[in-house]
Amino acid sequence: MSENRVNDVELVLLTVETGEAVCGKNTSMRRIAASLEEAGVRTRLESVGEHAPEEILARAHGGGVRGVHSFHAYKAGRAGRELAAALRVPHVVTMSGTDVHLDLMDPTRRGAVLSVLSTAAGVVVSNDGARERLLEAGVEGARIHLVPKGVPLPANGLGEIPELAADDFVFLLPGGWRPVKNNLFPLEPLAALAAEDSRVRLVYLGPVLDAGYRRGFEAVRARYPFARDAGVLPHERMAAAYRRADVVLNVSHDEGGANAVLEAMAAGRAVLASDIPGNRGFLPFDSADWNRSAGVLYATTGSTNTLSRAHSAEDFLAKARRLLQEPDTRRTLGTNARRRVIERHSPEHERAALLDVYRAAGVLGLPADPGA
């Protein structure tokens, strides 16, 4: 990505500072910015945690900014709305999974989310489930745009996660430590599987976003010697970690569409995930014929409070056991998953869809997409 001067910037991409460069929103924003630059759109990445909005405004004023795109309605959207209003340019908002499944349902935050959306020129969602929730909340359908997430295909080759033996069977759980990610759930069912097969390993990869929740793992880890937290890997090394995994897990209570699931699919891995809208959108699953599926979903029971969603440990264990015992099925699932990414989730498709959103929102003068 080129280094931008103020009067070179056409689009300001705005997110909230998490302190973790590898978090999903920051990863998405950097990927999108790089893709837009390839299409000739000059971008600037800003964080409302790192810089006060007035400082962002001072850098942007007087330049060629034509739009502001906030990557989180509640946490970044309020500052993005103020910035766009001050610059008199359209404001586009991407709804995160937290926005859709937690903040929009939280009476203390719902009003702020809807207020941001009420003035947005465009609202981006990554799956039909999120679109339905916004329609139910009263957001005008014409301003909601479905933009499936894109993910690059990683280079082929073997990868490594440190301190694993060659014959270890690895269930990899990538994602930040916080309650909505339900990180602790696999411990008990995989303990039963590890008692059946000593090769079983559970490896966590991701930042600590909720230290109190992460301490729950510390309190019980001695009971689960097959499980370990490998910390955080730079994003450029994650493809190798996915390839070392035998099965990639997503056990979240709710997702807007996890980058980690798409990345695992792009790496050709079998994915075992909770049956929730965000995962269903990425992983079509035929329980009668796994060979026609792009991933495997285990049973959950919905709740109006998403953190109270019930996950079936019995179903999880049965499906994890089958994946352990059937290498041909794992390979077929991985092949199907990679094909689905190529067909539906390429960065080029994502970029073309976003450029359409910007044009519909009135972000004028953007070039044609060379990859379209």
pLDDT at 306: 65
Q: Is the same domain home to 94 and 212?
A: no
List the beta bridge partners of residue 47.
15
For 76, the token pair is 């970044």
Q: Is the same domain home to 209 and 354?
A: no
Mean of the pLDDT values across residues 20-41? 75
Q: How many domains does the chain have?
A: 2
Query: Residue 310's pLDDT band (boundaries 50, 70, 90)?
Result: very high
**Residue 200 and residue 207: Cα distance in Å, rounded?**
23
Q: Which has more pLDDT, 115 or 22?
A: 115
Q: Which tens digit of pLDDT belongs to each residue from 252-301?
A: 998 877 889 999 999 999 999 999 888 988 999 999 999 999 999 999 98
| Euclidean distance between the first and the last CA atom of the chain, given in angstroms as a whole number | 20
Give ∠ CA 324-251-109 in degrees, rounded to 5: 175
For 341, the token pair is 């990414």
Q: Is the same domain home to 181 and 263?
A: yes
- Compute CA distances 86 → 13, 54, 65, 93, 334, whole Å: 16, 10, 11, 16, 48
Q: Which tens digit of pLDDT belongs to each residue from 216-265?
A: 999 999 999 999 999 988 877 888 899 899 999 999 998 877 889 999 99
Q: Is the same domain home to 126 and 215?
A: no
Q: Is residue 128 part of a domain?
A: yes
**Residue 329 and residue 285: Cα distance in Å, rounded?**
13
pLDDT at 372: 61
Q: Which residues contact 193 (CB under 8 A, 6 or more apart)?
A: 200, 317, 320, 321, 324
Pairing of strands 122-125, 144-146: parallel
Q: Is the same domain home to 209 and 279?
A: yes
Q: Is the same domain home to 114 and 127?
A: yes
Q: Which has more pLDDT, 323 or 98?
A: 323
Query: Residue 19's pLDDT band (boundaries 50, 70, 90)?
Result: very low
Q: Is residue 323 part of a domain?
A: yes
Q: Which tens digit of pLDDT belongs to each residue from 186-205?
A: 999 999 999 999 999 999 99
> What does the mean pLDDT of the chain come to?
87
Cβ atoms of 93 and 37 closer than 8 Å = no
**Which range, of 71-85, 152-166, 341-355, averages the lowest pLDDT?**
152-166
Q: Is residue 366 part of a domain?
A: no
For the chain, give the longest Cα–Cα distance: 66
Q: Is the same domain home to 262 and 339?
A: yes
Cβ atoms of 67 and 41 closer than 8 Å = no
Domain encompassing residue 351: 6-150+346-361
For the CA atoms of the chain, what is the radius of gyration? 21
Start-end of H helices in 178-229: 187-196, 211-220
**Residue 238 and residue 264: Cα distance in Å, rounded?**
9
Q: Which has more pLDDT, 121 or 45?
A: 121
Write the CATH number for 228: 3.40.50.2000
List the beta bridge partners of residue 11.
43, 67
Q: Is residue 368 part of a domain?
A: no
pLDDT at 153: 74
Q: Is residue 187 part of a domain?
A: yes
Q: Is the same domain home to 98 and 121?
A: yes
For 230, the token pair is 């490998």
Burial annotation 31-44 (CB, 10 A radius, 16+ → b, else e): bbbebbeebebbbb
* Statement: residue 105 has pLDDT above 50: yes
* Statement: residue 2 has pLDDT above 50: no
Q: Is residue 42 part of a domain?
A: yes
Winning range, highest mean pLDDT, from 87-91, 163-167, 304-308, 317-321 = 317-321
Winning range, highest mean pLDDT, from 6-10, 41-45, 234-238, 313-317 = 313-317
Q: Which tens digit of pLDDT belongs to each residue from 149-181?
A: 888 776 554 456 778 888 999 999 999 999 989
Q: Is the same domain home to 250 and 303?
A: yes
Q: Is the same domain home to 227 and 351?
A: no
**Which range, of 77-81, 262-266, 368-372, averages the lowest pLDDT?**
368-372
pLDDT at 240: 86
pTM for this predicted structure: 0.80
CA 104 to chain centre: 18
pLDDT at 158: 47
Q: Is the same domain home to 174 and 100?
A: no
Q: Is residue 156 part of a domain?
A: no
Cβ atoms of 108 and 86 closer than 8 Å = no
* Statement: residue 25 has pLDDT above 80: no
